[in-house]
């Protein structure tokens, strides 16, 4: 019996809660989820100041401009003004400098010219409030600046810095232990003996976790020795917040991993056959005194990474406090047929994506679609969700889980400004030869 993907995900995600919170300096908090709301202790800006280099003046003195005003002094950013603006007067002011008492507007310097010693000619009438940044027009004292559950992006860290916050309470980042299993895995740098392969799952999973902002612990290759595997698992379960293994979760004779996990979890492992391809076999359970989640991913290299996207990443994001756990799913259009065979499963095909001139996402196969063909996964920006059946013809709508979005080919900013994009013309990036 194959388990529908939605049910398998519910079994995993439905059982997980965010980790506890910790206090961190702002410099370490990027990407973290805020654990408690932050309130502005005072107004930002805290004083009225100038948005332009120019002259602080009384708007009413400029009615009927051009007018000539007396220059009473200068105020620079960071200084307290030492003269007020009195009728008929103006104070030279720099961007960010406090507005002197009596002034209610600033005339930018381009609309002025010297008119003799300590005199300035104002070319145009200046409306009240012109180029003045008032206290609290970014944040008001007492205002909730950021709420619990919000993700700290670089701009929000800037906001926190602007109100003098140096440390924030954030949800802990999960520490994730990763190991591989299988006596076929070789760590020797030399040529491979027949039957041996290199461990590609562990480096790929560790890099994927790091790219997704989780902390990692490399637990190496666990050989198929029950006692060794059991001890390693028990230790890791006390040290980490989640564990990820790959290999040995299917129905093979070599079921050491399953045996040991069943034992160490106290019989709490669920071994599933999910109605998807790749990544059909999947194990999930809780281990150790803190009952941390353990994810048993299939050994096939593509399968382990697809299983990561569908189960591990969303689960870890839940632990890390994120409200949104999945990557964006976009509506794409196939640019070539994406065939498959009916088998009762949803297929996640590795696809390359490009943003077309009309803004739609064009989708093509990224290469071989078997679960050992890791090269296609490396070339893919997305996983196309192809429902059971015979596949999709060219020009068909298709949902795509975007897994590598940063380098999506498509029109650049320059083109969107209506100019030919010289920056991405020609060879299109890569090292200079």
Ligand X SMILES: Nc1nc2c(c(=O)[nH]1)N[C@H]1C(S)=C(S)[C@@H](COP(=O)(O)OP(=O)(O)OC[C@H]3O[C@@H](n4cnc5c(N)ncnc54)[C@H](O)[C@@H]3O)O[C@H]1N2
* Binding residues vs ligand MOO (CB under 6 A): 277-280, 298, 300, 303, 371
Q: Give the helix/strand (H/E) hosting 302.
A: helix 301-307
Kindly identify the residues of this chain, within the stretch 399-418, that bind ligand X according to CB under 6 A.
none
Interface mask toward ligand X for 256-285; x: CB under 6 A: ----------------------x-xx----
| Residue 362 binds ligand X (CB under 6 A) | no
Query: Which span sits near ligand X by CB under 6 A: 37-45, 94-102, 212-220, 242-250?
Result: 242-250
Shortest reach from residue 306's CB to ligand MOO, in Å: 7
| Beta-carbon contacts of residue 275 (< 8 Å; ≥ 6 apart) | 2, 3, 4, 5, 344, 345, 346
Beta bridge pairs of residue 30: none
Shortest reach from residue 250's CB to ligand X, in Å: 3
What are all long-range contacts of 182-190, with beta carbons under 8 Å and residues at least 24 apart? 182/221, 182/224, 182/247, 182/248, 182/254, 182/299, 183/223, 183/224, 183/254, 185/221, 187/221
Interface mask toward ligand X for 182-211; x: CB under 6 A: x-xx-----------x-xxxx---------
For every residue of 207-244, which 3-state class applies, written as one string? HHHHHCCCEEEEEEEECCCHHHHHHHHHHHHHHCCEEE
| Residue 246 binds ligand X (CB under 6 A) | yes
Shortest reach from residue 273's CB to ligand X, in Å: 7
Residue with tokens 């949902």: 399
Shortest reach from residue 151's CB to ligand MOO, in Å: 31
Q: Identify whether the C-beta of residue 391 lies closer than 8 Å to the C-beta of residue 320.
A: no
Cα gap 157→152, rounded to integer Å: 6
Nearer to ligand X, 64 or 344 (CB): 344
Closest by CA to 85, choosing from 67, 106, 66, 64, is 106
Shortest reach from residue 350's CB to ligand X, in Å: 15
Interface mask toward ligand X for 289-328; x: CB under 6 A: ---------xxxx-x-------------------------
Nearer to ligand MOO, 216 or 303 (CB): 303
Query: Which span sits near ligand X by CB under 6 A: 33-41, 66-74, 250-258, 311-319?
Result: 250-258
Closest by CA to 382, choosing from 356, 361, 411, is 361
Nearer to ligand MOO, 156 or 250 (CB): 250
Q: Identify whether the C-beta of residue 74 lies closer than 8 Å to the C-beta of residue 90.
A: no
Nearer to ligand X, 112 or 201 (CB): 201
Q: Identify whether the C-beta of residue 366 lies closer than 8 Å to the C-beta of residue 351.
A: yes
Nearer to ligand X, 174 or 248 (CB): 248
Kindly identify the residues of this chain, within the stretch 163-182, that bind ligand X according to CB under 6 A.
180, 182
Report the partner that residue 49 touches, choosing among ligand MOO, ligand X, none (CB closer than 5 to 8 A by kind).
none
Q: Identify whether the C-beta of residue 99 lies closer than 8 Å to the C-beta of residue 117.
A: no
| Beta-carbon contacts of residue 191 (< 8 Å; ≥ 6 apart) | none
Report the partner that residue 197 touches, choosing among ligand X, ligand MOO, none (CB closer than 5 to 8 A by kind).
ligand X
Query: Which span sits near ligand X by CB under 6 A: 20-28, 210-218, 245-253, 263-271?
Result: 245-253
329-334/361-365 β-pairing: parallel
Q: Identify whether the C-beta of residue 145 lies closer than 8 Å to the C-beta of residue 163.
A: yes
Nearer to ligand MOO, 32 or 313 (CB): 313
Nearer to ligand MOO, 161 or 370 (CB): 370
Kindly identify the residues of this chain, within the stretch 371-400, that bind ligand X according to CB under 6 A.
371
Shortest reach from residue 182's CB to ligand X, in Å: 5
281-287/270-273 β-pairing: antiparallel
Would you tell me which residues interact with ligand X (CB under 6 A)? Answer: 180, 182, 184-185, 197, 199-202, 246-252, 278, 280-281, 298-301, 303, 371
């Amino acid at each position: 019996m194959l388990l529908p993907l939605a049910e398998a995900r519910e079994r995993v995600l439905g059982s997980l809660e965010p980790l506890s919170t910790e206090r961190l300096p702002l410099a370490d908090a990027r990407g973290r989820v805020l654990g408690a709301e932050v309130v502005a202790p005072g107004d930002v800006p805290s004083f009225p100041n100038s948005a332009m280099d120019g002259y602080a003046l009384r708007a009413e003195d400029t009615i009927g401009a051009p007018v000539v005003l007396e220059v009473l002094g200068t105020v620079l950013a960071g200084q307290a003004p030492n003269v007020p603006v009195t009728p008929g007067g103006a104070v030279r002011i720099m961007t960010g400098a406090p507005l002197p008492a009596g002034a209610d507007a600033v005339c930018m310097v381009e609309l002025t010219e010297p008119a003799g010693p300590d005199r300035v000619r104002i070319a145009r009438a200046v409306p009240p409030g012109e180029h003045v940044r008032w206290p609290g027009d970014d944040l008001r004292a007492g205002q909730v600046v950021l709420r619990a559950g919000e993700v700290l992006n670089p701009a929000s860290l800037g906001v926190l810095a602007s109100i003098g916050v140096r440390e924030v309470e954030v949800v802990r980042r999960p520490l994730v232990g990763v190991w591989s299993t299988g006596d076929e895995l070789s760590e020797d740098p030399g040529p491979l003996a027949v039957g041996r392969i290199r461990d590609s799952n562990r480096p790929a999973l560790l890099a994927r976790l790091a790219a997704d902002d989780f902390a990692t612990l490399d637990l190496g290759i666990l050989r198929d020795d029950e006692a060794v595997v059991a001890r390693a698992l028990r230790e890791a379960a006390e040290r980490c917040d989640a564990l990820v293994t790959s290999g040995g979760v299917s129905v093979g004779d070599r079921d050491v991993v399953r045996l040991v996990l069943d034992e160490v979890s106290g019989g709490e492992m669920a071994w599933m056959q999910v109605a998807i391809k790749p990544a059909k076999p999947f194990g999930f359970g809780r281990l150790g005194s803190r009952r941390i989640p353990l994810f048993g991913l299939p050994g096939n290299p593509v399968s382990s990474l697809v299983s990561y996207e569908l189960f591990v990443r969303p689960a870890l994001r839940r632990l890390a406090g994120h409200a949104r756990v999945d990557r964006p799913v976009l509506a794409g259009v196939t640019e070539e047929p994406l065939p498959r065979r009916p088998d009762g499963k949803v297929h996640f095909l590795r696809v390359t994506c490009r943003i077309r001139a009309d803004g739609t996402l064009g989708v093509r196969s990224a290469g071989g679609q078997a679960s050992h063909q890791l090269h296609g996964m490396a070339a893919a920006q997305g996983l196309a969700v192809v429902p059971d059946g015979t596949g999709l013809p060219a020009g068909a709508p298709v949902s795509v889980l975007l897994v590598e979005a940063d380098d999506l080919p498509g029109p650049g900013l320059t083109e969107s400004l209506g100019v030919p994009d010289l920056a991405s013309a020609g060879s299109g990036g890569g090292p200079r030869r």
